[in-house]
Structure 1
Amino acid sequence: MSDHALLAVQGAPLEKVTHRSVKDEVAERFATLIVSGVLNVGDTLPSERDLAATMGVSRETIRGALLILSTKGIVSVVQGARTKVASDDVGDLGLPSLLNRRVTEYSLDDVHEGRLMAERQVAVLAAQRTEPGMLNELEHLIDVQMAAINDPVRFLIADRAFHTAIYHACGNAVLSDLATTLYSYQLDHRRRAIAEPGAIAQSIADHRVILSALKAGDAKALAEGLGVHEQRIYDSTRAVLAETTKKATE
């Protein structure tokens, strides 16, 4: 499958006219990962090979995307060394809502309720519209997640690809963008939560349940699977926030 096709099933915008290259799309995804807190300044990125497998594109595309970010001073690329995040000032790249920081103004409870509602409707549509190519890509992403079971950052990159692919499968651009924005809330805390022992394994198990429901075209089971998964995310994020608040007051 071509880079363009893989980006399409992993959540490229629906029904939108764009003249950006694939490497531009991937650069934007990296920028979103940085501004949402999955990748922090000083972090070393996974290898080009691992990034290519996780994001479903060629190593050449990854190299081109990193070059774009490097010219903007967002990442530091040194020959013979791993690429590092150099700045979180991503300029005009990344999700607009995250750049404006509006999503960070919402309460955790509000985002939780909003995500449950959005994903419930995503489930209704995705169960009807998901195609075999998408199911194959989701299977691949679970394999990538298994390979990243001891690497929270790489796992979260694959996790985002998994969720945005499902959102895209619903076939509604507005709903897909809304669900993606809500997913991106508090990812910096999500990174801490997913590093807890057993957290990645549990998340992968949830993903298998979600994929099984998609394969069956069962909207009710899909909504339940997404809901259980979101509840775990909410509970673990709330625990991290509570611990952060406790430490700040000690």
Structure 2
Amino acid sequence: MSAPQNMSLTEKIQTNLGDKIRGGAYHVGEKLPREKDLVSTYGVSRTVVREALAQLRAEGLIEIKHGVGAFVCSQTTPEMKIPFLPDNLQKRSDLLELLELRKGVEIEAAGLAALRRSPAQNERIQEAFHDFKEALRNNSGASEKDFELHRRIAEATNNRFYLEFLDYISRQVTVNAPRSLYGGEQSRRLDQLNALEDEHRQLVEAIREQDPEKSRSAMRQHLKASEDRFMILKE
């Protein structure tokens, strides 16, 4: 299946690799080509390849093992989904209700991550925050890096159900969220970028300090602010 012309490079690679996986070109447990090989094949940057792989992981198609590579997951057939949630959120009310559901999940996840995270998991959270800051400043791939940071936090709960649930609902919010949440008019964009960076900084610092109440509070404030930004953009 060819990718529509209006797709970003990340989306085109995600679609192409996803089609190959679903079509059987790569089998369950098989390792995908290395990042540098995908960079060469598609003629794009390593950042674009990583963003595409992150989206495939969010779909449940692949598992990424750090330092080893990306592998096709067994749950690709049938694709994992939550029955009561639609695949495409078209109405404003749908997305707002999903954002509300996300708050209920992620606030507690932040507290658990603060309590349970290992030093290695904390390091991955800090790295994801650094990548998110760079994406914000470069105005490239910020929504994907935002998702990746929240996923790292869910990972640090050491409860796989938090991670699986978040993979689905956060992907829906990320995919359907207006791109202007990360861009827009220059003055508004700068205000938004500063706010987004500060909200995430408070969150990752609270988790680093292993303060569960502070972590829950930081996540609550961040998600409420995100909801407010969305409401303003959609008015």
TM-score class normalised by the smaller sequence: 0.5 to 0.7
Letter matched to residue 101 of structure 1: P
1:161, 1:124 → 2: CA distance? 18
One of 195, 213, 219 as aligned partner of 1:226: 219
Q: How big is the alpha-carbon RMSD for the aligned residues of Structure 1 and Structure 2?
A: 3.7
TM-aligned CA deviation for residue 93 of structure 1: 9.5
User: How many angstroms apart in 2 are the aligned matches of 1:163 and 1:218?
Assistant: 17
Alpha-carbon offset, residue 178 of structure 1: 1.9
In 1, the alpha carbon distance for the partners of 2:167 and 2:95 equals 16
Over the matched positions of the two proteins, sequence identity in percent amounts to: 13
Q: Is the 8 A contact 2:182 2:193 kept in 1?
A: yes
Indicate the residue corresponding to 2:126 in structure 1. 139
Q: Find the aligned partners of 2:30 and 2:163 in 1 and give their Cα distance.
A: 21
Where in structure 1 are there 5+ consecutive unaligned residues? Answer: 1-17, 27-44, 66-90, 243-250
Change (3 A) 1:230 1:95: farther
* Structure 2 stretches lacking a partner, 5+ long: 1-26, 36-41, 55-63
1:101 and 2:101 aligned: no
Q: How far apart, in 2, do the equivalents of 1:92 and 1:239 lie?
A: 39
Higher relative contact order (CA 8 A, sep 6+): 1
Say which SS state the counterpart of residue 160 (structure 1) adopts. helix
Cα offset for 1:141?
A: 2.0
TM-score of the superposition, structure 1-length normalised?
A: 0.58
**Counterpart Cα distance in 2 of 1:154 and 1:148:** 6
Matching of residue 174 in structure 1 with residue 169 in structure 2: no
1:175 offset after TM fit, Å? 2.0
1:93 and 1:191, CA in 2 relative to 1: closer, same or farther beyond 3 A? farther
Matches for 1:47-58 after TM superposition, within 5 Å:
47-51=44-48
Q: Count residues in correspondence.
A: 178
Name the counterpart of 1:202. 195
Amino acid at match of 2:221: V
- The structural deviation recorded for 1:52 is 6.2
State the secondary structure of the residue aligned to 1:107. helix
Q: Which residue identity is paired with 2:205?
A: S
TM-score normalised according to structure 2 size: 0.61
CA drift at 1:191: 2.0
